[in-house]
Amino acid sequence: MDMAGFAENTFVVIMAGGIGSRFWPFSRNNHPKQFHDVLGMGESMIQTTVRRFTGLCPISNIYIVTNREYAHLVRQHLPQLQDEQLLQEPIGRNTAPCIAYACFKIAQRNPEANIVVAPADHVILKEEAFTIIIRQALEAASKRDILVTLGIKPTRPDTGYGYIQYLTEEHGPLQKVKNFTEKPTLETAQSFLNSGDFVWNAGIFIWNVQTILKAFQENLKELAALFEAGSPVYYTQAEPTFIDSAYSQCQNISIDYGIMEKASNVYVILCEFGWSDLGTWNSLYNLAEKNAEGNVIDGNTLLYDTQNCIIKTPQNKLVVLQGLQDYIVAEYDDVLMVCRRTDEQKVKDFVSDVKAQKEANFA
């Protein structure tokens, strides 16, 4: 394989437009979690994600899709990127429009491009293993008319993830996808785990640009027509105006529902590389290092009779806790939240109530 030519044809699209409201009050409308150093690694999640891909392709082939109001944060965290690599959405319309925008734009620059699409806020602990898998996927997608997704071998019946069922017919790393299931009940998730032919949907996709454009044209015709019409203006000063118009006509639809669940050429690679979507406080608790009492602590604290808590508070504030078991204690930017870890699903309700009370600056 000509590695230099392969790298030149490799593009990465990083989706960085979400708010991550389940991580409130840490993740906020004005500062979502992808722009935080959630794991205390010395770099934000979006910086980690970009660094993870820099060995696969030139930095000029990495595109960030984000909400226009976060463009200044992207520039602040990733000053090495050019303006043309920053795709600004005027409004959020889920993953299908943002992927269509990026893929039609990349096709205009390189019609032979092989593309990796990944979220900006996922954790991958085994980066070397991840890179090997991505290279395998890119090689397969460059040779075959297939849409590839990554499936994580499940370790528990998690109801917060989507699942992929695959057919065990293929030899090698690729398995043909049978169907997708979004966030099942606990009973269903347990049956998936028991069956052995289900994996978690990591939300990471790999395909050749011509394959995905064809899939858009077959499954989301109106969306394809919208972004194909932009081909003459991509990489010009007219692009933002065109995108404003296109997004005002876009339906709100995910790539999973719009394409992956309908297409007949979807394959999954079964993976193990220390993955988490880091969607909730409990997912951070499960990943992070714990002290002898089972506490995860990021802050200046004095703890008494406190076990199995996750505490994330400002370093310039002393926090004294006594008698807490299995709690989330989180403070960021003038909001303090104390919540039982078992009730973490209520965090979204807290955010809704804050907005309903017109306290938007706290949401």
**133-191 confidence digits (pLDDT tens):** 999 999 999 999 999 999 999 888 888 888 999 987 666 788 999 988 888 888 888 98
**273-303 confidence digits (pLDDT tens):** 999 888 889 999 998 999 999 999 999 999 9
| 115 contacts 11 by C-beta, under 8 angstroms | yes
Cβ contacts of residue 86 below 8 Å, gap of 6+? 63, 64, 66, 71, 74, 75
Unique residue bearing structure tokens 């078992």: 342
**pLDDT grade for 358, boundaries at 50, 70 and 90:** confident
Give residue 136's pLDDT: 94
Average pLDDT, the chain: 93
Give residue 132's pLDDT: 95
330 φ, ψ (degrees, to nearest 5): -135, 130
Q: In whole angstroms, how far apart are CA 59 and each of 79, 115, 142, 236?
A: 11, 14, 20, 20
Tell me how far the alpha carbon of residue 275 is from its chain's centroid.
Answer: 11
State the pTM of this model. 0.93
DSSP 8-state class, residue 220: -
With 80 as the cut, is the pLDDT of residue 215 above it? Answer: yes
Give residue 161's pLDDT: 85
| SS3 category, 320 | strand
Q: In whole angstroms, how far apart are CA 256 and each of 97, 272, 315?
A: 12, 21, 40
Cβ contacts of residue 132 below 8 Å, gap of 6+? none
Q: How far apart are the C-alpha atoms of 300 and 75, rounded to whole Å?
A: 31
**pLDDT grade for 4, boundaries at 50, 70 and 90:** low
Give residue 180's pLDDT: 87
Tell me how far the alpha carbon of residue 10 is from its chain's centroid.
Answer: 19
Class in CATH terms, 3-276? alpha beta
Give residue 195's pLDDT: 81
Give residue 2's pLDDT: 62
With 60 as the cut, is the pLDDT of residue 336 above it? Answer: yes
**240-249 confidence digits (pLDDT tens):** 999 999 999 9
Give residue 168's pLDDT: 74
With 70 as the cut, is the pLDDT of residue 213 above it? Answer: yes
Higher pLDDT, 95 or 162: 95
**Token code pair at residue 352:** 């809704």
Nearest one of 92, 68, 101 to 229, comparing CA atoms: 101
Cα-Cα-Cα-Cα dihedral of 268, 270, 274, 277, to 10°? 30
**Token code pair at residue 90:** 């005027």
* In the chain, % of residues over pLDDT 70: 98
Residues of each domain in the chain carrying CATH 3.90.550.10 = 3-276
pLDDT, mean of residues 84-97: 96
With 60 as the cut, is the pLDDT of residue 1 above it? Answer: no
DSSP 8-state class, residue 34: G
| Rg from Cα positions in the chain | 21
Q: How far apart are the C-alpha atoms of 240 and 89, rounded to whole Å?
A: 9
Tell me the one-letter amino acid at 299: G
Nearest one of 12, 215, 248 to 100, comparing CA atoms: 215
